[in-house]
Chains A and B, each alone.
Chain A
Amino acid sequence: MLRPGFRDPVHDAQGVFRAVLDALARPGTIHAISTHLDPPEPLTPELAAIALALTDGDTPVWLDPALTASPEVAAYLRFHTGAPLTDDPARAAFAFVREAGRCPPLAAFAQGSPAYPDGSTTLVLALDSLDVGAGLRLTGPGSRGTADLALAPMPPGWPGALRENHAGFPLGVDGLLTAPGRVAGLPRSTAVEG
């Protein structure tokens, strides 16, 4: 049977959005996503919350092979968001990645164009853990000095791939990193070391 979406669609979506906005505006800080969602496996509650809060018929969504393998996930997202699913990451407005250890190269996703850098993909990753601590060293708009973010698993090619992504600014992919109950932002404006 189809699992339910937000209990309170208006305020739950607002809460998720504000957490994501704060996370993206202050890279290196971790924000709580509280959700009562119980989406079909292997979709995590955090990925589901972001999908339900931000995607709809205007946003092509790309799912990684782990999520694509489950027809229940596609049915759940189609029902609750109405977002068209695409198998071309370069056309996706949002990409949801359940297995961060197998995340495709960032260059595979939409980068935007020089005139419209907003036409890029927002990449939403599910991680096992996400903490403030040694890992990625972030500098740029939104962080006061530097900020450190420890994540596991580290997607393949990172942090080098993040440096390349930032080098292409204002083009590039924006990342939302999620772990159980939490979210952090990795906008393309952030420079990464480590």
Chain B
Amino acid sequence: MSEAYNFAYLDEGTKRMIRRALLKAVAVPGYQVPFASREMPMPYGWGTGGVQVTAAILGRSDVLKVIDQGADDTTNAVSIRRFFAKTAGVATTTRTTEASVIQTRHRIPETPLHEGQTLVYQVPIPEPLRFLEPRETETRQMHALAEYGLMHVKLYEDISRHGHIATTYAYPVEVAGRYVMDPSPTPKFDNPKMDDCPALQLFGAGRERRIYAVPPYTTVRSLDFEDHPFRVQTFTEPCALCAARGHYLDEVVTDDAGGRMYICSDTDACETRREDVR
């Protein structure tokens, strides 16, 4: 652990400010709490919001896992894991079951989370209404009035144009029957995992300076229509490596002759399954 930094990099005043925002976020599930996001030693878009949330909650006894699109071994995951190993000296793991804090970019692990775990999402655009209404003053008012008709119009336009709701990621959800929230660009495949989840879910958007949260055992409903109910992606093939069905799969192009394979996006779930089979 590097002695040149305060524990987990951030100074204590910044941590206090983020901690207060987290408490408000938990008390008002799905509401985006503004916070004074700091510059971090990584570019925006690389998880500066998630890193700040993780730094504010992390303690010496935590075990940290970091995933990027489900994988523990990609650049973003490896660099953030090393960042906290260096600045906080915390134990790190790739095992979902062993982690107490999991920072994620755009996936929820396949292995069910349990009580006592905290999932920290890296969020690029926290405002679900932003592409429908660019003015922050307006979207803030829309949330205040729970005026979400525009979002339903957007989903309806999907149906009228494509015959089904074509939104496949960052699929809007309603939290605890009140706020509509962007689940971050996770595939909609992961939306059902957010509902009634035993783990605490925290969301940090660094560039946009917003923190929000979903407490454990909270109703998270994907927006839909009675005649067009919410559905997740399905895959016809099993994972080419571990033969799992019901996992979210990535397409990997293997040659320039149309060859391709589908493998689990969650590397830990895939490896664990292969070990179990062996």
Contact = CB atoms under 8 A, between A and B. Distances in A.
Contacts of B217: 141-144
A114 B31 CA distance: 11
Interface residues of A, number: 40
B127 to A, nearest CB: 14
A56 B16 contact: yes
Contact of B29 (A116, A122, A189): A189
A106 to B, nearest CB: 14
Given A10-B7, A11-B60, A25-B26, A117 B31 contact: yes
A59 B16 CA distance: 10
Contact of B28 (A15, A93, A189): A189
A158 B179 CA distance: 27
A192 interface: no
Interface string A133-167: 00000001111100000000000000000000000
Contacts of A22: 200
Given A25-B213, A113-B144, 20 more contacts: A13-B12, A13-B15, A21-B23, A24-B23, A24-B26, A59-B20, A93-B20, A114-B144, A115-B141, A115-B144, A117-B28, A120-B24, A140-B176, A142-B218, A144-B217, A170-B28, A170-B179, A174-B23, A187-B26, A189-B28
Which are the 8 A-B pairs with shortest beta-carbon distances?
A: A114-B144, A187-B27, A142-B215, A118-B24, A141-B218, A141-B215, A174-B27, A25-B215
8 contacts: A17-B57, A20-B23, A21-B57, A22-B200, A114-B145, A144-B217, A170-B28, A170-B178
